[in-house]
Amino acid sequence: MTDITQRRVPVAQAAPASDRREDHQPVLVIGREGRPGQPAGQALPGARPPRHLADLDPGERRAAAERLGQRSFRGDQLSRHYFARLTDDPVEMTDVPAEARVPLAEALLPRLLTAEREFTCDQGQTRKTLWRAFDGAYVESVLMRYPGRVTMCVSSQAGCGMACPFCATGQAGLTRNLSAAEIVTQVVAGARALARGEVPGGPGRISNVVFMGMGEPLANYSRVLAAVRRITDRVPDGLGISRRAVTVSTVGLVPAIARLAGERLPVRLAVSLHAPDDGLRDELVPVNRRWKVAEVLDAAWSYAAATGRRVSIEYALIRDINDQAWRAEALADLLSGHLAHVNLIPLNPTPGSRWTASDPGVMREFEERLARRGIPVTVRDTRGTEIDGACGQLAAAGRAEPR
**Residues designated as active site:** 140, 391
Q: Which of 189, 193, 251, 269 binds ligand SAH (CB under 6 A)?
A: 251
**Around Cβ 223, how many Cβ atoms within 10 Å?**
23
CB-closest chain residue to ligand SAH: 392
- How far apart CA 98 and CA 60 sit, in angstroms, is 23
**Total residues in contact with ligand SAH, by rule CB under 6 A:** 18
Binding segment for ligand SAH (CB under 6 A), chosen from 8-16, 102-110, 159-167, 366-374, is 159-167
CB of residue 113 to ligand SAH, shortest distance in Å: 18
Alpha helices in 146-292 (DSSP H): 168-172, 180-195, 221-232, 254-261, 278-284
Q: Which DSSP letter does residue 259 get?
A: H
Q: Which of 82, 166, 221, 291 binds ligand SAH (CB under 6 A)?
A: 166
Cβ nearer to ligand SAH, comparing 232 with 250: 250
- How far apart CA 146 and CA 286 sit, in angstroms, is 34
From the list 280, 289, 347, the residue with the least C-alpha distance to 30 is: 289
- How far apart CA 373 and CA 328 sit, in angstroms, is 10
Q: Is 345 in the site for ligand SAH (CB under 6 A)?
A: yes
Binding segment for ligand SAH (CB under 6 A), chosen from 10-18, 22-30, 118-126, 160-168, is 160-168
Q: Is 272 in the site for ligand SAH (CB under 6 A)?
A: yes
Binding segment for ligand SAH (CB under 6 A), chosen from 129-137, 144-152, 298-306, 343-351, is 343-351
Q: Is 137 in the site for ligand SAH (CB under 6 A)?
A: no
Binding segment for ligand SAH (CB under 6 A), chosen from 70-78, 220-228, 243-251, 320-328, is 243-251
Which pairs with CB-CB distance under 8 Å and at least 24 residues apart come from 120-126?
120/387, 121/384, 121/386, 121/387, 121/389, 122/383, 122/384, 123/200, 124/199, 124/200, 125/199, 125/200, 125/201, 126/383, 126/384, 126/387, 126/389
Amino acid at 350: T
Q: Is 323 in the site for ligand SAH (CB under 6 A)?
A: no
- How far apart CA 213 and CA 217 sit, in angstroms, is 9
Q: Is 10 in the site for ligand SAH (CB under 6 A)?
A: no
Q: Is 348 in the site for ligand SAH (CB under 6 A)?
A: yes
Residue 15: burial class (beta carbons within 10 Å; 0-12, 13-18, 19+): middle
Q: Which of 109, 158, 167, 209 binds ligand SAH (CB under 6 A)?
A: 167
- How far apart CA 83 and CA 75 sit, in angstroms, is 12
Cβ nearer to ligand SAH, comparing 79 with 350: 350
Q: Which of 25, 151, 208, 250 binds ligand SAH (CB under 6 A)?
A: 250
Residues 185-224 contacting ligand SAH, CB under 6 A: 212, 216
Q: Is 392 in the site for ligand SAH (CB under 6 A)?
A: yes
Binding residues (CB under 6 A) for ligand SAH: these are: 162, 164, 166-167, 212, 216, 249-251, 272, 314, 316, 345, 347-348, 350, 391-392
